Amino acid sequence: MGSLTGCLAKAGKNVSRADKDAIMARAKALRDEGTAAADAAMMAVDEQIAAVRAL
């Protein structure tokens, strides 16, 4: 898996700026809590997908 930043860049306009910012912020918070970077990235994306679906 590439970096979260790289993956979001590849997503381009398919992911809104607000969603990208939310994903990056959540991933950082998870890393700060001790979660491994790859796990934090996946969890942040999964959480944001769930939030968007709940709208």
Per-residue model confidence as pLDDT tens for the chain (55 residues): 689 999 999 999 999 999 999 999 999 999 999 999 999 999 999 999 999 999 9
Evaluate if pTM is beyond 0.85.
yes
Res 10: pLDDT = 95
CA distances from 24 to 9, 39, 48 (A): 12, 13, 10
Instruction: Tell me which residue range forms the domain holding 24.
Output: 4-53
Res 2: pLDDT = 83
Q: What tokens were used for 12?
A: 């381009």
Res 1: pLDDT = 62
Q: What tokens were used for 50?
A: 């769930």
Query: Of 55, 25, 53, 14, which is closest to residue 43 (Cα–Cα)?
Result: 25
The number of folded domains in the chain is 1
